[in-house]
Chains A and B, each alone.
Chain A
């Protein structure tokens, strides 16, 4: 088990070793979350690497990663635990066939841990050989408000009560990372339990470093052009600006096509990797793309 980093530098080093290019500010937030044992809430546009932070932390610290993907209508049964009803009913039928009539014995056998289906939150509270796991609660903004209130309870005490079994408490609380795409505001009570960090789009140098870290052996020249173009594109009026994930996809697409330089035809062909909205694409005709390409090239030249 890798010990937790004791300084901001060490945290930054840990993330970098895990191929995650983090800003210093993010490293401070992660360091504090680990040091103070608080959940870390990461907000930001889609595709800026929020989920990756949890994955990187888990692998860098040698912990298990437990992921709870939130969705509209997620409830305690799918997040915490559920009794395996069908097997319970079967057990009752078997007991009946065997002539078992004692209510108490039946109750004990039916609510046995064997029939408990453990969902991510309960799994995260259990002791593990590698130390407490990293619990990733992904896209928490998609869940309903009642579920948020429920999360609040779990995240403040790290204990859960199953009426039939008793209270299950985490000996050591897990490392909790929550992510939100900000499709709605989270409740202040939940935010108050967490440390907060906004993950923004990276600047050119950082984005370049990300491409280098994630796609070893890339064409340096093409990558510089890609980064300059994407950075320029983000300043346009778009419904959905491309994230880092899109830059990576686009870089992969261009490499797969064997392109060694950005041009209008190859950009038109691969624009779908960057822009995922019909209006956004429709507004970039050849002349518009040419203009964007020229401008991004000028930025590159100016930067040397």
Chain B
């Protein structure tokens, strides 16, 4: 392999990585070429390590990078369709799936035409009427229009920042400002005080996508998409029988494209629910990164647990202790006589800090308001 064709391969690798959803800037691509020159091509392992150090920015992207590296850099020259390496353990085969779709799709799936969408948005009064309409009873057109309402709900979310702010009523002496004042006017200044503003909360959304939840899950995912635009730290997961992290798909500008990509990523739509197992998986894989005293975990589920209720109780308890608040959003609350009496639901109800309804757009607005209220309370400590 000559230096020249090597640069070509690096460019091809970068291209494959980008199509697989990794963010690689041209600066990194240049850096990668420089790094390859510095390391040389005598050892494949060194070459891979050098490219990984310059192109990979996320631990979870590494299996995909390895698959892409093997497919692009190790393929014989001028071979038409590069072979995909033999699938190994689960992460590997996932990476291979991603690689296949990256190499197959040249352009992202097209979203619905904007005009069709605009036609669905109705007059304000219609929207008002819609806000108390159960998601499950909406027609497809109404559901599209209700998306507007859900997006509006996100407007209630204010993400407090943690900064010093000057304070009229006391706090800590603002010595810095005092000294600055004194240097300017040695004959005396006003005493300044300052105090911490607010504590930041991190939202973690868990969405049950089992068969019984279909219409509600869609609205909840729309809400997550709208909130993520205001708060880029929001984390989103979907689960039925297994857990899928959906946070990366929140970055698409329209909720339709975002939801379409999520739909492709989740493999267990419409199956049964194992909430306990999902909690365990969440804590094991990402717990350290996303849970903590400032995380507000919001679970959308009807609580119809298929797994062992004892296991759910134990896992929910552990999750509850690892976050600030665990809030259960339950669309079944639309029935006045609903009681969480099934053993799984009862276990959840005993553990969570609050249960909130989520069956119509109005209840989602209420939900975001209550989250904002919790955020405001945490700031006022």
Contacts and interface: CB of A to CB of B under 8 A. Distances in A.
Given A188-B57, A197-B53, A32 B182 contact: no
A37 to B, nearest CB: 11
Contacts of A157: none
Q: Report which residue of A36, A86, A95, A237 has the largest number of chain B beta carbons within 10 angstroms of its beta carbon.
A: A36
Given A28-B50, A85-B179, A196 B56 contact: yes
A90 B176 CA distance: 14
Given A89-B182, A110-B183, A198-B62, A24 B38 contact: no
Interface string A60-76: 00000000000001000
Contact of B49 (A29, A38, A83): A29
Interface stretch (B285-293, B305-313, B349-357): B285-293
Contacts of A29: 49, 53
A198 B63 CA distance: 12
Which among B39, B48, B186 has the highest number of chain A CB atoms within 10 Å? B186
> Which range contains the number of A residues in contact with the other chain?
35 or more
Contact of A25 (B25, B31, B52, B161): B52
Contacts of A181: 288
A197 B54 CA distance: 9
B289 A185 contact: yes
Main secondary structure of the interface of B (DSSP, over half): helix
A195 B49 CA distance: 11
A144 B49 contact: no
A interface majority secondary structure: helix
A288 interface: no
A36 B49 contact: no
A272 interface: no
Contacts of B48: 25
B319 to A, nearest CB: 12
A92 B38 contact: no
Nearest to B199: A72
Contact of A28 (B31, B49, B283, B292): B49
B35 A89 contact: no
A8 B182 CA distance: 56
Contacts of A111: 183
A237 B59 CA distance: 20
Nearest to B321: A279
A88 interface: yes
A95 B187 CA distance: 12
Interface string B15-46: 00000000101011001001100110001011
Interface in A9-54: 24-25, 28-29, 31-33, 35-36, 38, 43
Interface of B: 23, 25, 27-28, 31, 34-35, 38-39, 43, 45-46, 48-50, 52-54, 56-59, 62, 161-163, 175-176, 178-179, 182-183, 186, 200, 202, 233, 280, 283-284, 287-290, 292, 318
Given A8-B46, A24-B45, A32-B39, 5 more contacts: A33-B53, A36-B34, A144-B162, A181-B288, A195-B35
